[in-house]
Amino acid sequence: MYSYIARRLAFGALTVVGVSIMVFVIMRILPGDPLVAIFGPEGLTKLTEEQRANYMADLGLSDPLWVQYLRWIKDIVEGNFGRSFFRSESVADMILRRGPLTAEIALISVVLSWLVGIPVAIISALKPNTVADSVARFASILFLAVPGFWIGMLIVLALLFWFGYRAPMAGVGFLTDPAANLQIVIGPAIVLGLGQAAYIARMGRSSLLEVIREDYVRTARAKGLNNRLVIALHALPNALLPVITLSGVLLGLVLAGSIPVERAFGTPGLGYSMFQAVSERDVFVMQNLVFLYAVVFVVLNIVVDVTIALLDPRIRLR
Amino acid sequence: MTATVSDPTLPAPPSRLRGVGRGIATFFRRAPLSGFWGVIAALIVAMAVAAPLIAPYPPLKSDFRAMQKPPGEAHWFGTDQIGRDTLSRVMYGAQSSLTVALGAVLFGTTVGALWGLACGYFGGRFDMASQRVIEFLQSFPDLILAMAIAMALGGGMGTVIVAIAITRIPFGGRVIRSVVLSLKEMQYVEAARGIGASHRRLMFRHILPQCVAPYLILATTHLGVAIVIEASLGFLGVGIPPPTPTWGNMLADSLNAGLVPPWWLVFFPGAAITLTVLAFNLLGDGIRDLLDPRLRGSV
């Protein structure tokens, strides 16, 4: 078990290094000239040679690339993610201020996806090809197709139109003002949660259908155990293992999906910062946020893998 | 198409076309629902291609006498804040959205498939290194990777296609690699190797044709995802730059139409995205069931 965790962590560390190189290559090398990204192709032609050189030196962009890369890594290790081109706030402060809101949204959405997805999967799998099953399958197919941010826009619009209501714009922590905080968080969390619930219901249904046909489930029934207990105690735990793995994969959907969804709701979270960074062509902020999101994704998937290993002796004892 | 010992007096040429026709007929019989959605998908593609002919107005022409008009006789889907016809823009939006999605999926899946073919066939260090790179690529949530690349490369249809294509590469690479790994051990491949076939011949004549079915399944199942990513990029302002109408751009644009955006500017482009993704997803499911009998019934 410990060797499994150690191996997983070692691979994770390697991945984080690889990811940092990849982010650096994408954000710094691909465009050729970061000044184009900042000023736009037209703005660049208006700068004199000297101005360009000054900007480059100012931003530390005239050093060799490997020096820039190492400086960036040093910054990250020191917990200082550099600063934005356009805002006085440092990226680290931005993450600390806005990150919790997005984390809250992600957490609630995952819980919600389980609360909705699993019961739907159970109903579907226990009564396959009935009306309830058809409705559930249609709903999940529909939710797989609907873009979350569009649902978000429609919700915002409907609330404004009929109730003249808009969620508070200022970010508030749950501890300082729970009511305002929940009003901000609940919309994005529902939208993202339902999107995941569709995948979970689909996966849970097929996984449960498979497990129900297993010999040990038939044995449990044959010894006269109540059907509910058979499902709850024998079938469900095994059927849920692939769903947990799926939930880890879906975290990518939540992390990325929260960007357009937060824009749709006007949520003052980290996803909104990402949208701002992208629309302002703020390369440094983008570079750090992309790296942060990727690292969070990698770490959460390690957590999921280790959880699975703890729950499943077939993996633990390998 | 097994028992076609046809009458030699009949002309043979249209057999290939007939094969395709029969394939489609089989598809409809086996999966009527997917067939229905396949027709919807075909209609959407036809609408995109024929947009210049059937759109009631030019997509960029603003009519200042009809600004922000709700749906009505003259403008079925209403007009936006500068008087552009929403229906026409949705039709033209299909053009850019579908071009990007098709281009990105074909490009990304093909690159991934060839990479996977090379990895599976040659194995060894090259495979090891490639698997790490693919793992790194998959450590990014799709949309975030596409956003970063699209932003770094600057706006334009080509860059959006490349950005989305890169997020599709790992899937093609992984799936085709595993297919090739199992094919490589097959006896017919061994036999071909035994009679001295070159690497190139083995890869392209003996192994690649067997990868066509998984390739098609991958490509169709990823079309829907590609459309959603394209729309999200447009919505976040890193897609095809405005004023070119894309569904994502239109949704982003609607947020600039006042404090309470008119519902028709939000509803129709999003409904177009949903309908298209739904059609492609269900068509993809049908194609997968048809091409891969082992998967039938699961999921």
Chain B hits for A260, Cβ within 8 Å = 143, 232, 235-236
Instruction: Encode pLDDT of A53-104 as tens digits.
Output: 777 777 666 677 788 888 888 888 877 766 666 666 778 888 888 888 899 9
Chain B hits for A246, Cβ within 8 Å = none
* A260 closest CB neighbour out of B153, B235, B261: B235
Chain A hits for B254, Cβ within 8 Å = 153
Best of A15, A30, A150, A286 to disrupt the B interface by mutation (most B CBs within 10 Å)?
A: A150
**In the prediction, which pLDDT does B76 show?**
73
Name every residue whose Cβ is closer than 8 Å to that of residue B212 and which is 6 or more positions away in sequence.
none
Q: Distance (Å, rounded) from C-alpha A264 to C-alpha A150?
A: 7
State the pTM of this model.
Answer: 0.86
* A160 closest CB neighbour out of B147, B254, B260: B260
Q: How far is CA A82 from CA A66, A73, B276, in A?
A: 17, 11, 42
CB pairs under 8 A between A and B: 142
**Structure ipTM over 0.90, yes or no:** no
**In the prediction, which pLDDT does A65 show?**
77
A286 touches chain B (CB under 8 A): yes
Q: Angle, nearest 10°, between helix axes A65-77 and A2-24?
A: 130
Chain B hits for A26, Cβ within 8 Å = 148-149, 152
* A294 closest CB neighbour out of B139, B143, B235: B139
Q: Angle, nearest 10°, between helix axes B247-254 and B263-291?
A: 150
**In the prediction, which pLDDT does A37 show?**
60
pLDDT at residue B97 greater than cutoff 70: yes
Nearest CA distance, A206 vs chain B (angstrom) = 5
**In the prediction, which pLDDT does B89 show?**
87
**In the prediction, which pLDDT does A110 show?**
93
Chain A, nearest residue to B131 by Cα: A15
Nearest CA distance, B284 vs chain A (angstrom) = 12
Kindly determine whether residue B270 and residue A297, on different chains, have CB atoms separated by under 8 Å.
no
Q: Distance (Å, rounded) from C-alpha B33 to C-alpha B66?
A: 41
Best of A23, A26, A166, A262 to disrupt the B interface by mutation (most B CBs within 10 Å)?
A: A26
B260 touches chain A (CB under 8 A): yes
Chain A, nearest residue to B255 by Cα: A264
B104 burial type by CB count under 10 A (0-12 exposed, 13-18 middle, 19+ buried): buried
The residue to which tokens 């083995």 are assigned: B202
Nearest CA distance, B152 vs chain A (angstrom) = 5
A267-277 per-residue burial string, b: 16 or more CB within 10 A, e: under 16: bbbbbbbbbbb
Best of A134, A138, A153, A210 to disrupt the B interface by mutation (most B CBs within 10 Å)?
A: A153
Q: How far is CA B288 from CA A4, B107, B177, B213, B298, in A?
A: 35, 20, 18, 8, 11
User: Taking a contact as any Cβ pair under 8 Å apart, which residues of chain A between 167 and 226 contact chain B?
Assistant: 202-203, 206, 210
Nearest CA distance, A309 vs chain B (angstrom) = 20
Name every residue whose Cβ is closer than 8 Å to that of residue A211 and which is 6 or more positions away in sequence.
A217, A235, A238, A239
Q: Angle, nearest 10°, between helix axes B142-153 and B157-184?
A: 130
What's the average pLDDT block by block, 10 residues per block, for chain A (318 residues)? 84 89 80 61 70 72 77 80 67 85 92 93 86 87 90 89 73 71 87 92 90 88 87 87 88 89 89 87 84 90 88 74
A10 touches chain B (CB under 8 A): no
Best of B90, B140, B295 to disrupt the A interface by mutation (most A CBs within 10 Å)?
A: B140
Chain A, nearest residue to B232 by Cα: A260
A31 touches chain B (CB under 8 A): yes
Kindly determine whether residue A37 and residue B151, on different chains, have CB atoms separated by under 8 Å.
yes
Kindly determine whether residue B281 and residue A260, on different chains, have CB atoms separated by under 8 Å.
no
pLDDT at residue B129 greater than cutoff 60: yes
Tell me the percentage of chain B whose pLDDT exceeds 70: 90
Instruction: Encode pLDDT of B203-218 as tens digits.
Output: 888 888 888 888 888 8
What is the Cα B118 distance to its own chain's centre? 24
Instruction: Encode pLDDT of B12-32 as tens digits.
Output: 555 566 777 777 777 777 777
Tokens encoding B292: 């891969």
Nearest CA distance, B260 vs chain A (angstrom) = 7
A142 touches chain B (CB under 8 A): yes
Q: Distance (Å, rounded) from C-alpha A62 to C-alpha A59?
A: 8
Given a contact cutoff of 8 angstroms between Cβ atoms, the answer to whether A201 and A246 are in contact is no
Q: Which of helix, strand or coil describes residue B79?
A: strand
CA nearest A257: which of A241, A269, A245? Answer: A269
Q: Distance (Å, rounded) from C-alpha A135 to C-alpha A131?
A: 6
Nearest CA distance, A290 vs chain B (angstrom) = 7
The residue to which tokens 């709850």 are assigned: A232
How high is the mean pLDDT of chain B? 83
* B282 closest CB neighbour out of A27, A37, A141: A141
